[in-house]
Amino acid sequence: MDHEFKDGLCKSSVIASCSDEVNDKVKERSRDQREPLPGEPKCVICSRYGEYICGETDDDICSLECKQTLLCRVANTQLAVSHCPPKRLPANDECFYVRDTGGQSGTSFLSDDQTELLRRKLDIHVKGDLVPGPILSFSSCNLPQKLVQNIEAAGYEMPTPVQMQAIPAALGGKNLLVSADTGSGKTASFLVPIVSCCSHFRFEHFTDQKKPLAMVLTPTRELCIQVEEQAKLLGKGLFFKTALVVGGDAMARQLFRIQQGVELIVGTPGRLIDLLANHDIELEDIRIFVLDEVDCMLQRGFRDQVMQIFRALSQPQVLLYSATMSQDIEKMVSSMSKDVAVISVGKPNRPSKAVKQLPIWVESKQKKQKLFDILMSKQHFMPPVVVYVASRLGADLLSNAITVTTGVKALSIHGEKSMKERRDIMKSFLMGEVPVIVATGVLGRGLDLLGVRQIIVFDMPNSINEYVHQVGRASRLGEEGTAIVFVCRENNNLFPELVEILRSSGAAIPRELVSSRYKACPYSIGRGQKKRKHE
């Protein structure tokens, strides 16, 4: 007979040898457990040595932590499937999801066929087991009442398709890899579950010592600021505080804020590593870990830092997001978690259909003049406009040249400017005081540039995925926008992918792009395509 422990765990019979101490302290954390030897049981949650059997489910489990995760998942599945009223779950398992049966919220329980139909209609694709069906309203998944009010106050009447599918899946404890168009509402689809989970947890486990419960990493300071602002709006009036951890702001202040007790940390990997290396920050309670722009975050440059941070955490739920996915991303993600459900809305790696792409063939030397012509044309200039260039120096020079030559006020924004300068410039741009911003890739991803409906790609970026993100800045939630794109022979290594994208969007294709004269040799890197270091 297996030995009973007081925590509802039994020593696994496979390994309960006579020499085992019955009173061994049960392992608290998954990270305290060793890897299994061949033939030994594996934990159903984290695949470490399954030293114990969960009393409630009979599954092999490595620690109390994974037992709680297991019970949370089982409870979520049962609740979602049987639509029972919410039950008290074991301590620590507050991140649960209950799909309501209609009535109050006006939504109805969907059969499998209805779920399939709805997913097909909304172009939602799901890979993975036990992913709950889409929700039709924010009020149908047992969110705190105050959070539902905050969502309404933000003007979100209906969830967008990615929110319909990703919110219930994340609330159900699933690890997710999510892709959906630029501007389709991905940010709220991870923030709503975070706010809900954190505030439930704090409500149930009131303590003075508040260690962070969730972490969101993004590649740029601007994006972190935006995500944190949105998180604050959604968490207003709840047990929910945030800390922003980005370069350029005083570290002492960021540290102080975390020490005061926060639920969510939003940061860039570099600054977070600095903070962790020099200060004692307790991350063991982090239960949700989000990588926004995951394809960028797992590329060389960020990957080691991201993985270093991830390893400091204790088996959190992972939520990974982007509008673009690279081929090896699923493989890389599997090194973070074995059990990841994949959700995609529409086709990944395609620019938002709402943005009209206007590619123009312009030789390098004529690009400046062409830009000035556009900015001086009443017909073609639709401020506010973001112009994307390849380098910091290029951004400074071009913004000066625009102001001097056209009389249109332009400022540059890039990674070399201080945080304060970047904030001030963004503010005057968004307030309408500056109609043109010349930016490097720091403004290319994730930013919600309210009011921007025109972007000009002056220098094609290094990869087609970055192009998709830049073009995406011209539209939010399907509103129409325009992307004027300068292409020249130096970009010829991108021509095949660009032509495919333009063709699938129904855009006109300059004949030079398909001419054999400008065909790229497979390994050539055009002059304008040198690896950029200085964004």
Ligand X SMILES: Nc1ncnc2c1ncn2[C@@H]1O[C@H](COP(=O)(O)OP(=O)(O)OP(=O)(O)O)[C@@H](O)[C@H]1O
Binding region for ligand X (CB under 6 A): 155-156, 158-160, 163, 180, 182-188, 323, 446, 448, 472, 476-477
With CA atoms as reference, report the closest residue to 164 among 131, 125, 138, 126. 138
> Using CA atoms, how far apart are residues 174 and 109, in angstroms rounded to an integer?
20
Least Å distance between CB 365 and ligand X?
A: 33
Closer to ligand X at the Cβ: 117 or 477? 477
Question: What is the CA 53 to chain-centroid distance, rounded?
Answer: 35
For 327-377, give the DSSP string.
TTHHHHHHTT-S-EEEEEES-TTS--TTEEEEEEE--GGGHHHHHHHHHT-
Q: Alpha carbon of 316 to those of 268, 309, 312, 393: distances in Å?
A: 18, 12, 10, 41
Q: Give CB contacts under 8 A, 24+ apart, made by 54-63.
A: 54/8, 54/9, 55/4, 55/8, 55/9, 55/10, 56/8, 60/12, 61/9, 62/27, 62/30, 62/33, 63/26, 63/27, 63/28, 63/29, 63/30, 63/32, 63/33
Q: Hey, what are 437's tokens? A: 């911003």
3-state helix, strand, coil in the chain (%, to 5): 40, 15, 45
Residue 145 near residue 127 (C-beta atoms within 8 A): no
Q: Is 10 helix (H, G, I), strand (E, B) or coil?
A: strand
Least Å distance between CB 101 and ligand X?
A: 23
Q: Hey, what are 106's tokens? A: 């006006």
Placement of tokens 């639709």 in the chain: 382
Closer to ligand X at the Cβ: 73 or 356? 356
> Using CA atoms, how far apart are residues 439 and 532, in angstroms rounded to an integer?
14
**Which neighbouring-strand residues pair with 219?**
none
CA angle 368, 369, 372 (to 5 degrees): 90
Q: Hey, what are 299's tokens? A: 């590329």
* Phi-psi category of residue 74: left, alpha or beta, with phi > 0 → left and psi -120 to 50 → alpha: alpha
With CA atoms as reference, report the closest residue to 357 among 490, 495, 481. 481
Strands (E), 118-262: 124-127, 175-179, 214-217, 242-245
Q: Hey, what are 226's tokens? A: 């935006």
Least Å distance between CB 348 and ligand X?
A: 11
> Using CA atoms, how far apart are residues 369 and 367, in angstroms rounded to an integer?
6
Least Å distance between CB 192 and ligand X?
A: 9
Least Å distance between CB 155 and ligand X?
A: 6
Question: What is the CA 30 to chain-centroid distance, rounded?
Answer: 25
Closer to ligand X at the Cβ: 477 or 508? 477
Placement of tokens 């932590």 in the chain: 65
